[in-house]
Amino acid sequence: MDEIKNQEATFYTRQQVAEMLGISERTVYTYVRDKKIRVAPNPYKIRKEAVYYCEEVDALVKEKQTINPAATIAHVAKQLGVSRQHLEYLVNANSLATNRIKRKNTVRITLPIETIDKLGELVKDSQEKSPKYRKSTYFNENENIALFQKFVDQEGTPFRVDLVNNIWGYRDEREGHFIDLKSAETMLELKPAYTINQPSIKEANYVELTLSKDKHEIWYIFDYFLSTRGIENISIRNNTSTIQLYVVQGIISLTMNPLPSPISSSLLSKYVTAGDIVIEQDELFLIGSSKRLYTYIKLENYNALLKEADVKEVSIGEILDEILGEHYRQKRNLK
């Protein structure tokens, strides 16, 4: 038995392998199946758990360290906690470099380290980019006010709710002066220009709009969705020069909620960065950035998808979406 214990020093456990390679323990099985590493023999199940040869694992660790640290958009998006669609928007909007790696009949797009670093900075600047972001950053539950909500005084002067150094208040839309809530109560008589409360919609799919703060027209868009969808069905991100607005998908009746005259279908489309907005007759359709699809595929294709999903530690749906996205990008490039 002492001899067995001494031999164990030349092996790693599954947990150790996973930690060293930065993968899940489930993916360790995939590495064995693909013959990247081997499980040490275990006659009569003397060992309590599977172990793996140190030299093979060490070689993989060294190989990973020498490989160019490029990654797919899906992988980087997952690491940064943002949607892949939004990361694609940031890459295109900022003309960031990408790598195109040819693999047989396909082309795989990866992001070089300098692009990954830049994306990290962009995401950090705008904080987190998920619709599930902390609601306290854009909604004051006690006062029932939302970030950038429009208020007016007795003379009709517009003010917008703002949050400065964790202090809620109002900013004069014309002059730009900020006044905290307590001071505003004694100095101003402000009333909301619209209600921000609507019934909650049980839907997890969102349309994302990126609104440039230097464009006056964006406030018509912002006010329209905040008033028609309500704070229960939107999420707001306050970035340095933009506002990211996530609006839950669904249909808005234009008969009951007509668009303000400055807003048109083409103007809305200009600011959509994920999903789509379509106007048909008297209805406005908010179409989220992803769709659930039920389909049948051959078992061999399913196994191939499952294998790649295990390696990349993403879902089969994400792998399939990546393949389809690359397929249609190639078709567009060939035209």
Spatial contact of 227 and 192, defined as CB atoms under 8 Å apart: no
Cα separation, 193 vs 153, whole angstroms = 10
In a domain, 270, yes or no: no
Most confident of 106-110, 163-167, 316-320: 163-167
Q: What is each CA distance from 148 to 101, 160, 170, 171, in whole angstroms?
A: 44, 5, 9, 9
Residue 225 lies in a domain: no
Query: How many domains in the chain?
Result: 4
Condensed to tens digits (0 to 9), the pLDDT of residues 254-308 reads 999 999 988 988 899 999 998 899 999 899 999 987 777 777 888 888 888 888 8
Read off the pLDDT of residues 211-234 as tens digits, 9 standing for 90 and up: 999 999 999 999 999 999 999 999
pLDDT score for 101 = 67
In a domain, 255, yes or no: no
Q: Which of 91-105, 176-190, 209-223, 278-292 has the lowest mean pLDDT?
A: 91-105
User: Residue 137 domain-assigned?
Assistant: no
Same domain assignment for residues 7 and 58: yes
221: CB partners within 8 A, 6+ apart: 209, 211, 245, 263, 267, 268, 271
Question: Quick check: helix, strand or coil at residue 276?
Answer: strand
Residue 32 lies in a domain: yes
SS3 273: strand
Shared-domain flag, residues 58 and 92: no
More confident residue, 220 or 19: 220
Alpha-carbon distances, residue 204 vs 76, 146, 215, 284 (angstroms): 22, 21, 29, 18
In a domain, 18, yes or no: yes
Domain-located, residue 87: yes
* Same-domain check for residues 18 and 45: yes
The reply to whether 164 falls in a domain is yes
- Higher-pLDDT residue of 229 and 3 is 229
With b for 16 or more beta-carbon neighbours within 10 A and e for fewer, the 192-207 pattern comes to: ebeebeeeeeeeebbb
Residue 195 has pLDDT above 50, yes or no: yes
CATH number at residue 37: 1.10.1660
pLDDT band at 247 (very low <50, low <70, confident <90, very high): very high
Domain span holding position 157: 150-192
